[in-house]
Structure 1
């Protein structure tokens, strides 16, 4: 067993496809298949089940992935640091983002990053904050920007404090520019489901104020929520970032929430025992800067 076999195995596990894994590694597919076969032969265990859905990892593969991923990540971090001191940054960055950030901030940030660091490949995972925290904990992600949870064992750095707004569409009855949470709670709302971190935050604000949110429709897709509000007579409560493009072109109207203001706290999380590799740290810096610039 050598480093190359471990690297090939980890990438194949993450991609679930020989074609995608070979492309990410910049090698031909037979070379990847041969190394994985040799690894299986050496371990006397089947690591993947070949199917028309791709490469399905076995229980042994999952155990191996959990053990080898931190080792590989540390090797890549050291390699990237050495290369950085000698010139252009290279390597692979694995970052996680919630949907409320990814859909608006990510495109421009990725364009800038790819121009500045053409030698770095990138994987961006969009998921709930809870899933992203688990990804950083397990080593599947180098770092992530998440809604700050109440309990956190990871290292966290403040990114942005952002207010929720009440958003309405052109068909909605007139609403003042500023509304209290009590007034907003009486409107018919479309909100994310209770599995979503934003919904949990909203329910926490409502419970603290002794209020009940009049949710008549639940949708986890934030773009879908925006479309429903834009085309109908429902309203929503979401961070401004999640609605920015529609607010900018007038498809939605934002109403500031007062008494109390609802604020979410975004943090960048990383593992306390695994420093963020330079490629991921550079990507995180670009993302945070774009996020703060858009907020301003």
Structure 2
């Protein structure tokens, strides 16, 4: 089994297509197919099956991906360390974050980092807290910024900020007093994320504690779609300030504090205890941390 074959296998697994994987590896498709076939012959197991959706990994393929992805990550970190010159950051940053964080700070953080460290490649993704946690666990991500898990996880966790959730309305909604009691929320026309979304879990935990049942009229996981619906109708929603920073500054949207109880969430960064982030990832994370904290202070 050659290291190159493992690299090819991981790339094909992640791309799900021989064409895309060959393009990413900068090789011809027959060369990729030949190496995968040799690998399957050597280990005596089928790793992929071809389907209309592309190359689908078998159970053995998924197990092999989980086993070898951390090895490739360790190799990449070692290569970055050896190749770094005169303190200049190089390498690859793989960071995930929940959509409500990405909505408010991702682009500005990326532009700030890239301007100062042009040799670093950024791979950034958003998703649900559970999905991002799994990606850090198997080494697919260096780190992820998520809502604090309600159950213990076998990962390193660093608190970043406590953030208020606010009631957000658009220009078509009637104006209200600046403070809205939590038990008044069921009387409003709400749009909230689905129960898959970590933010919905946080909101419902407050509801259970207060014996208040929130039954949204509409459920949408896309934060941008939620905000568009709120802007164009009399719907309202509950979102953290980082997710609506730009919209509130641009006019049209209004925000209200929720009281009795005050709604908060804790933002944390998770990493793998045996695979610490590389120097470039640490610098990028520091920019994200600062921007999240600045928003909390500004609020």
Give the TM-score taking structure 2 as reference length: 0.90
Distance 1:122 1:36, change over 3 A: farther
Which residue matches 1:73? 73
CA change 1:29–1:293 in 2 (3 A) is farther
Q: Name the structure 2 match of 1:171.
A: 172
The corresponding residue for 2:275 is: 274
CA distance in 2, matches of 1:243, 1:109: 16
Number of residue pairs matched? 296
Q: How does 1:42-121 map to 2 (within 5 A)?
A: 42-84=42-84, 87-121=87-121
Given that 1:168 and 1:254 are in contact with CA atoms closer than 8 Å, whether structure 2 keeps it comes out as yes
State the distance in 2 between where 1:108 and 1:263 align: 24
* C-alpha separation in 2, matches of 1:15 and 1:246: 35
Gap regions ≥5 residues in structure 2: none
Over 3 Å counting, the alpha-carbon distance change for 1:119 and 1:284 in structure 2 is same
Residue 31 (structure 1) shift: 4.2
Q: For the structure 1 residues 15 and 202, does the alpha-carbon distance in structure 2 shift closer, same or farther, using more than 3 Å as the test?
A: same
Report deviation, 1:148. Answer: 0.2
Between the aligned partners of 2:111 and 2:51, the Cα distance in structure 1 is 36
Greater alpha carbon shift after TM alignment, 23-32 vs 236-245: 23-32
Distance between the aligned counterparts of 1:72 and 1:127, measured in 2?
Answer: 23
Give the match's secondary structure for 2:199: helix
Which residue matches 1:207? Answer: 208
For residues 152 and 86 of structure 1, what CA distance do their matches in structure 2 show? 41
- The structure-2 alpha-carbon separation of the partners of 1:55 and 1:107, relative to structure 1 and needing over 3 Å to count, comes to same
Unaligned runs of 5+ in 1: none
- 1:187 is matched with which residue? 188
Is the 1:158–1:268 contact (alpha carbons within 8 Å) kept by the matching residues of 2? yes
Describe the SS at the equivalent of 2:123: strand
Q: Secondary structure of the residue that 1:215 maps to in structure 2? A: coil
* Aligned position for 1:232: 233
Partner of 2:12: 12
The alpha-carbon deviation at position 253 of structure 1 amounts to 0.4
Provide TM-score, normalisation by structure 1: 0.91
* CA distance 1:178–1:109, shift in 2 (3 Å): same
Distance 1:19 1:251 in 2: 46
Q: 1:122 Cα shift?
A: 2.5
Which runs of structure 1 show a deviation greater than 4 angstroms over 4 or more consecutive aligned residues? 26-31
On the 8 A contact 1:132/1:144 being kept in 2, the answer is yes
